[in-house]
């Protein structure tokens, strides 16, 4: 679980930085500012570089970069080029083109050298060869160096060091990328850990920097913040071992004609900048944190989940610089869990960028049949509830499951939850109490599960709020959250749902109601997704501001009115002592489950959060689907979490607020899986 | 030495050592030089080459390479002259120890700051196996952001060529294979900092006599 180590190290390091979250905001601010003023920054930077005696070349695309470098190579008689790691040069496949012209190119970053020898593409932004075992690496070097390299880490290092030394010293040209370009002085900053960039840049007579234009910042203060941000986000260390700051070509005695060339690459970046959706992708600082946390990337890896830029951010970047077809090959691996956005130091709305790419692909190539079915889950739920209990009998029979797979693409192994005829909508008036002097008003957004599958839970929510003297209404005509539409790239349909739900809920907000949902995905849509879909409209923002998860609302508004205890009812909760809590992905963007934990503890439970730091695998309707992009992948993603739960004998019961997570966990976890509200009893504290 | 500066130096030392580097204290430059000699005697395995230190006198007798164990105080190289291209690889390959000046250090992250006007001097901290940096205690900065005005000045000063600035955080490392950390990939395997103006750096076990390594 190399990715988990990356996540944990990052958390520790962020905690050490004086201002953890502010730090993240700073990164976002600096990069946004840089994107906004890009043209000016690039011009200023270029002018300063020229003043410093460097040569500057603006390249529209990869071909121009190749031609430019070939021109220099021919002029200087360069036969051997050393490179330090540069994703930008990989983006344009520089090595291949130079080699085709008879120039030998040697990658000096160890991970890059390994994949160069193996003839592969990078597996991960920061750790390109993390998929190779130590013995595979020893073998690679043995073959390449025609010597026996033992399967020992130190021996491999010493061999590599010795083998690359003469290469460093003989190269006529060194090519690097740049992590940051500082416009105020025309300086490039190159960050490495191995020290290879030092040798690549200081020894050869010609140093060429290939940098994407989005790397520019204005000032040294901003540059130093990024220099600290890159490693903290990527590997949880403070600085990379070597940070080289270069403004001009330093002399080296005995060598008169030394040159520094700075190639500033566009290759789709200026187009990205003009695009209101994709503009924010330019904030990416290439830290790799998003792929460390992505549940499906963690299972399939960067060769499947990527072309040259892997992982979540790789989807929009690939679409923009390499084209839709390449991006479409892996865009549908994204399950819209939203974790990438939560961890991104530049707060890029990666999930919605990915949704846009999916939409482009669906418009071009049509929607996958299985996805069409999933997106229609609302209609299906209605029908199944209306025809319950017959529907349940059919759905859960083996014939039903078989047909379900063949006709609807729902994996037959998946246990579908049962539907209830007595939906919350139907029975609402029975659970609703009219309150004399309510201290608050709530419009309840039940989404699908609390209405069709577990109306009893929906009723508990209503009772809970009413016990705190809060008036609850169930607005008519509410759709489900619409999240599946987003997950499958049906953004027009998603926008319709958003518009509809917001138009129904806004009048309530205007009248002083708050909106509560117990399904984390529903609150997530209200707060994060609808405003994006509706272009940040006033209405959607107003609704977002007044939307809460159930326990958030409890904590903020009514905790003084309710005293919580263990539920005394059919669920035997009073016998439970230790609760294992699962934070659903969408919840991580909201309350992270903190107020729920507080409430459970107040009721007298011992609660611990059990997590792998990534998704349980269900990802909404994703885990229902038959086929490779569905049930099997979903189970693979969730396996480590299931094991954690099952290996903890101290736990009596598992609690989670997401209906879909419940289904995933209930299939494989040995303890009962319930909603926190199933564990709680509430009574009014004193009188008003 | 103000206690504030002492604290900065101590913090730098503990961070630098946590990164795998070694820190030594010396009261005066002369003491620093003998500390450097000690380190070379104990840890050096081959030829030594020095960049100019911060006292002008010492640049008087440029001598390219010295055998290990030689008193380096009077033999300071201002330049590693390559001669013609074919000789270069040999010369660099043979240098085992590089001695350079660290212009600043940053306590927050535990890094050295090297400002070099010549790539030859810069190579003395990157191509060698053992790198020894000599640092004035008064040049330790608290935070990375304190470097901003310095870098602005260094890179805005008139004339070509501009210096090259490198932040060095201990010995070189990689975790590219199975995410297991290994030192000394291409850059130095061992890095020592000798802090001048601070004999007694021993606080919480940080710093040591050069005799002890």
Q: pLDDT tens for residues B82-120?
A: 222 223 434 666 778 888 889 999 999 999 999 987 777
pLDDT surpassing 60 at residue A19: no
pLDDT surpassing 60 at residue B70: no
Complex confidence, ipTM = 0.86
- The Cα A540–Cα A531 span in angstroms is 5
Query: Is B179–A252 a contact, with Cβ atoms under 8 angstroms apart?
Result: no
Q: Are residues A263 and A284 in the same domain?
A: no
Query: Is A242–B117 a contact, with Cβ atoms under 8 angstroms apart?
Result: no
pLDDT surpassing 90 at residue A157: no
Mean pLDDT of chain A: 90
Q: Which residues of A touch B147 (CB under 8 A)?
A: 220, 224
Residue A582 bridge partners (DSSP): A656
- The Cα A479–Cα A483 span in angstroms is 11
- The Cα A128–Cα A121 span in angstroms is 8
- Tell whether B201 is covered by a domain: no
- Tell whether A243 is covered by a domain: yes
Residue B130 bridge partners (DSSP): B97, B190
pLDDT surpassing 60 at residue A5: no
Q: Does B64 touch chain A (CB under 8 A)?
A: no
- Omega prior to A226 cis, within 30 of 0: no
DSSP H stretches of helix in A62-121: 62-76, 87-91, 94-100, 110-118
CATH assignment of the domain containing B40 = 3.40.50.10420
Full domain range(s) for residue A287: 277-366
Q: Which of B208, B209, B207 minimizes the C-alpha distance to B15?
A: B207
Q: Percentage of chain A surpassing pLDDT 70?
A: 95
Helix or strand run (H / E) with residue A265: strand A259-265
- The Cα A654–Cα A674 span in angstroms is 6
* pLDDT for residue A368: 79
Helix/strand/coil for A337: coil
Q: Are residues A122 and A232 in the same domain?
A: yes
* pLDDT for residue B85: 26
Taking CA atoms, A172 is separated from A36, A80, A217, A430, in Å, by 38, 6, 30, 83
Q: Which residues of B touch A193 (CB under 8 A)?
A: 172-175, 185
- Tell whether B70 is covered by a domain: no
- Tell whether A404 is covered by a domain: no
* Position A12 confidence tier, pLDDT thresholds 50, 70, 90: low
Of the partner residues A52, A169, A202, the one whose CB lies closest to the CB of residue B122: A202
- Tell whether B55 is covered by a domain: yes
CA A144, chain centre distance (Å) = 37
Average pLDDT on B174-191 reads 84
- The Cα A59–Cα A66 span in angstroms is 9
* Position A3 confidence tier, pLDDT thresholds 50, 70, 90: low
* Position A572 confidence tier, pLDDT thresholds 50, 70, 90: low
CATH assignment of the domain containing A433 = 1.20.1050
Of the partner residues B118, B164, B175, the one whose CB lies closest to the CB of residue A246: B164
- Tell whether A29 is covered by a domain: no
Output the DSSP codes for A125-180. Answer: SS-TTTTS-HHHHHHHHHHHHTS---S-HHHHHHHHHHHHHHHHHH-SEEEE--SE
SS (H, E, C) A440-487: EEEEECCCCHHHHHCHHHHHHHHHHHHHCCEEEECCCCCCCCCHHHHH
CATH assignment of the domain containing A247 = 3.40.50.10420
* pLDDT for residue A303: 85
Sign of CA dihedral A676, A678, A680, A684: positive
Average pLDDT on A665-687 reads 87
Q: pLDDT tens for residues B111-164?
A: 999 998 777 778 888 888 999 999 999 999 999 999 999 999 999 987 778 889
DSSP 3-state percent helix, strand, coil across chain A (nearest 5): 55, 15, 35
Lowest-confidence pick of A80-94, A133-147, A390-404, B89-103: B89-103
* pLDDT for residue B81: 30
Query: Is A245–B164 a contact, with Cβ atoms under 8 angstroms apart?
Result: yes
Q: Are residues A346 and A475 in the same domain?
A: no
Q: Kind of pairing, strands B164-168 and B111-116?
A: antiparallel
Helix/strand/coil for A363: helix
Q: Kind of pairing, strands B190-196 and B130-136?
A: parallel
Of the partner residues B111, B122, B176, the one whose CB lies closest to the CB of residue A110: B176
Q: pLDDT tens for residues B12-24?
A: 999 999 999 999 9
Residue A57's contacts (CB-CB under 8 Å, 6 or more residues apart) are: A64, A65, A68, A261, A262, A263, A264
Full domain range(s) for residue B133: 3-64+75-196
DSSP letter for A119, please.
T
- The Cα A95–Cα A107 span in angstroms is 9
- Tell whether B204 is covered by a domain: no
Burial track A666-675 (b if 16+ CB lie within 10 A, e otherwise): bbbbebbbbb
Helix/strand/coil for A674: strand
Q: Which of residues 14-33 of B touch A (CB under 8 A)?
A: 15, 19
Q: Are residues A623 and A481 in the same domain?
A: no
pLDDT surpassing 60 at residue B62: no
Q: Are residues A204 and A285 in the same domain?
A: no
Average pLDDT on A530-550 reads 96
Top pLDDT among B205 and A128 is at A128
B-chain residue closest to A111, CA distance: B176
Q: Are residues A235 and A250 in the same domain?
A: yes
pTM of the shown model: 0.89
Average pLDDT on A276-285 reads 95
- Nearest C-alpha of chain A: how many angstroms from B210? 24
* Position A37 confidence tier, pLDDT thresholds 50, 70, 90: very high
Of the partner residues B79, B155, B166, the one whose CB lies closest to the CB of residue A242: B166
- The Cα A518–Cα A508 span in angstroms is 18
Top pLDDT among A593 and B203 is at A593
pLDDT surpassing 70 at residue B79: no
The token pair that represents A198 in the structure block: 């030092």
Give the angle subtended at the CA of A558 by the CAs of A556 and A559, to the nearest 5°: 80
Average pLDDT on A75-92 reads 94
Contact A53, B161 (CB under 8 A): yes
Q: Which residues of A touch B119 (CB under 8 A)?
A: 202-203, 250-252
Residue A346's contacts (CB-CB under 8 Å, 6 or more residues apart) are: A27, A28, A31, A280, A283, A284, A285
The token pair that represents A169 in the structure block: 């010293």
Q: Are residues A93 and A233 in the same domain?
A: yes
- Region of A53 please: left (phi>0), alpha (psi -120 to 50) or beta: left
Q: Are residues A110 and A221 in the same domain?
A: yes
Helix or strand run (H / E) with residue A247: none
Contact A515, A443 (CB under 8 A): yes
Q: Which of A232, A267, A302 is the last residue of a domain?
A: A267
Contact A58, A30 (CB under 8 A): no
Q: pLDDT tens for residues A48-73?
A: 999 999 999 999 999 999 999 999 99
- Tell whether A1 is covered by a domain: no
- Region of A289 please: left (phi>0), alpha (psi -120 to 50) or beta: alpha
pLDDT surpassing 80 at residue B50: no
The token pair that represents A446 in the structure block: 């039940």
- The Cα A173–Cα A258 span in angstroms is 10
Query: Is B188–A195 a contact, with Cβ atoms under 8 angstroms apart?
Result: yes
Give the angle subtended at the CA of A281 by the CAs of A19 and A301, to the nearest 5°: 90
Q: Are residues A211 and A355 in the same domain?
A: no
User: What domain count does chain B have?
Assistant: 1
Contact A350, A337 (CB under 8 A): no
Query: Is B84–A254 a contact, with Cβ atoms under 8 angstroms apart?
Result: yes
pLDDT surpassing 90 at residue A446: yes
pLDDT surpassing 80 at residue A118: yes
- Tell whether A204 is covered by a domain: yes
Top pLDDT among B55 and B192 is at B192
* pLDDT for residue A490: 93
pLDDT surpassing 80 at residue A590: yes
CATH assignment of the domain containing A574 = 3.40.50.1860
- Tell whether B69 is covered by a domain: no
Q: Are residues A688 and A603 in the same domain?
A: yes
pLDDT surpassing 80 at residue A607: yes
Q: Does B59 touch chain A (CB under 8 A)?
A: no
Helix/strand/coil for A435: coil
The token pair that represents B15 in the structure block: 């961070």
Q: Are residues A229 and A141 in the same domain?
A: yes
Q: Percentage of chain A surpassing pLDDT 90?
A: 64
| DSSP E strands, A524-594 | 547-549, 562-566, 578-582
Q: Does B180 touch chain A (CB under 8 A)?
A: yes
Q: pLDDT tens for residues B24-40?
A: 998 887 788 778 888 88
CA B85, chain centre distance (Å) = 27
* Position A521 confidence tier, pLDDT thresholds 50, 70, 90: very high
Sign of CA dihedral A41, A44, A47, A51: negative
* pLDDT for residue A206: 95
User: What domain count does chain A have?
Assistant: 4
CA A420, chain centre distance (Å) = 35
* pLDDT for residue B76: 31
Query: Is B187–A196 a contact, with Cβ atoms under 8 angstroms apart?
Result: yes
* Position A90 confidence tier, pLDDT thresholds 50, 70, 90: very high
* Position A201 confidence tier, pLDDT thresholds 50, 70, 90: very high
* pLDDT for residue A466: 93
- Tell whether B120 is covered by a domain: yes
Which residue do the tokens 């609808």 mark? A530
Query: Is A193–B172 a contact, with Cβ atoms under 8 angstroms apart?
Result: yes
CATH assignment of the domain containing A292 = 1.10.1060.10
Q: Are residues A244 and A297 in the same domain?
A: no
């Amino acid at each position: 679980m190399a990715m988990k180590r990356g996540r944990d190290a990052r958390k520790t390091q962020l905690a050490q930085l004086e201002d953890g979250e502010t730090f993240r905001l700073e990164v976002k601010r600096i990069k946004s500012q840089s994107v906004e003023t890009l043209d000016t920054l690039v011009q200023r930077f270029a002018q300063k570089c020229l003043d410093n005696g460097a040569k500057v070349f603006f390249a529209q695309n990869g071909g121009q970069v190749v031609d430019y470098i070939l021109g220099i190579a021919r002029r200087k008689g360069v036969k051997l080029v050393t490179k330090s790691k540069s994703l930008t040069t990989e983006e344009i496949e520089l090595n291949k083109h130079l080699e085709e012209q008879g120039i030998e190119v040697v990658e000096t970053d160890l991970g890059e050298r390994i994949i160069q020898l193996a003839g592969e593409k990078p597996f991960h932004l920061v750790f390109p060869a993390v998929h190779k075992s130590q013995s595979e690496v020893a073998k690679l070097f043995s073959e390449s160096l025609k010597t026996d390299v033992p399967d020992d880490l130190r021996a491999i290092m010493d061999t590599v060091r010795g083998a690359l030394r003469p290469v460093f010293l003989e190269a006529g040209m060194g090519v690097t990328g740049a992590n940051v370009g500082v416009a105020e002085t025309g300086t490039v900053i190159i960050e490495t850990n191995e020290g290879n960039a030092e040798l690549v840049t200081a020894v050869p007579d010609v140093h060429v920097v290939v940098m994407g234009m989005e790397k520019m910042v204005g000032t040294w203060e901003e540059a130093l913040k990024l220099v600290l941000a890159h490693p903290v986000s990527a590997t949880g260390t403070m600085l990379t071992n070597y940070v080289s700051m270069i403004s001009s070509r330093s002399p080296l005695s005995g060598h008169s004609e030394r040159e520094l060339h700075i190639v500033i690459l566009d290759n789709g970046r200026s187009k990205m900048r003009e695009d209101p959706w994709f503009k924010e992708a330019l904030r990416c600082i290439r830290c790799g944190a998003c792929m460390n946390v992505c549940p499906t990337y963690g299972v399939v890896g960067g060769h499947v989940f990527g072309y040259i830029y892997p992982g979540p951010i790789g989807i929009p970047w690939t679409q923009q610089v390499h084209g839709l077809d390449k991006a479409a090959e892996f865009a549908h691996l994204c399950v819209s869990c939203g974790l990438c956005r939560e961890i991104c130091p530049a707060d890029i709305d990666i999930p919605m960028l990915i949704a846009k790419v999916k939409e482009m692909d669906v418009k071009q190539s049509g929607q996958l049949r299985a996805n069409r079915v999933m997106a229609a889950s609302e209609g299906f739920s209605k029908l199944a509830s209306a025809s319950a209990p017959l529907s349940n009998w059919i759905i859960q029979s083996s014939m039903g499951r078989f047909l379900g797979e063949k006709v609807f693409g729902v994996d037959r192994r998946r246990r579908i939850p049962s539907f209830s005829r007595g939906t919350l909508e139907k029975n609402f008036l029975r659970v609703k109490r009219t309150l004399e002097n309510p201290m608050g008003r709530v419009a309840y957004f039940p989404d699908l599960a609390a209405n069709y599958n577990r109306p009893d839970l929906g009723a508990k929510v209503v009772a809970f709020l009413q016990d705190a003297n809060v008036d609850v209404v169930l607005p008519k005509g509410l759709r489900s959250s619409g999240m599946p539409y987003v997950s499958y790239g049906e953004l027009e349909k998603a926008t319709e749902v958003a518009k509809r739900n917001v138009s129904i809920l806004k009048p309530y907000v205007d009248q002083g109601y708050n909106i509560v949902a117990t399904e984390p995905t529903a609150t997530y849509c209200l707060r994060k997704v609808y405003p994006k879909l509706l272009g940040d409209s006033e209405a959607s923002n107003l609704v977002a501001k007044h939307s809460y998860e159930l326990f958030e609302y409890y904590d903020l508004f009514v905790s003084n009115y309710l005293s919580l205890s263990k539920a005394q009812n059919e669920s035997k909760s009073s016998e439970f002592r230790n609760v294992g809590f699962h934070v659903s992905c969408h919840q991580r963007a909201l309350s992270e489950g903190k107020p729920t934990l507080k409430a459970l503890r107040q009721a007298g439970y011992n609660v611990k959060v059990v997590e792998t730091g990534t998704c349980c695998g269900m990802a909404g309707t994703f885990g229902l689907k038959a086929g490779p992009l569905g049930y099997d992948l979903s189970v693979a993603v969730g396996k480590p979490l299931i094991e954690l739960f099952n290996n903890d004998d101290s736990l009596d019961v598992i609690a989670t607020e997401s209906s879909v997570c419940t289904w995933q966990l209930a299939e494989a976890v040995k303890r009962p899986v319930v909603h926190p509200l199933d564990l709680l009893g509430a009574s009014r504290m004193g009188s008003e | 030495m103000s206690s504030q500066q002492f604290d900065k130096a101590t913090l730098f030392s503990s961070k630098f050592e946590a990164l795998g580097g070694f820190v030594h204290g010396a009261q005066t430059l002369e003491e620093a030089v003998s500390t450097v000699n000690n380190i070379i005697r104990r840890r050096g395995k081959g030829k030594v080459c020095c960049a100019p230190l911060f006292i002008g006198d010492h640049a008087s007798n440029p001598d390219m390479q010295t055998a290990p164990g030689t008193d380096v105080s009077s033999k300071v190289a201002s330049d590693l002259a390559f001669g013609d291209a074919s000789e270069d690889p040999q010369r660099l390959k043979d240098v085992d120890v590089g001695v350079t000046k660290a212009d600043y250090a940053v306590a927050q992250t535990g890094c050295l700051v090297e400002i070099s006007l010549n790539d030859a001097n810069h190579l003395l901290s990157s191509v060698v196996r053992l790198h020894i940096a000599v640092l004035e205690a008064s040049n330790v900065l608290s935070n990375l952001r304190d470097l901003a005005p310095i870098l602005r000045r260094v890179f805005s000063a008139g004339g070509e060529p501009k210096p090259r600035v490198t932040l060095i955080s201990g010995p070189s490392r990689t975790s590219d294979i199975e995410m297991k950390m290994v030192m000394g990939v291409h850059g130095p395997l061992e890095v020592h900092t000798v802090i001048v103006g601070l004999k007694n750096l021993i606080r919480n076990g940080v710093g040591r006599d050069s005799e002890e390594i």
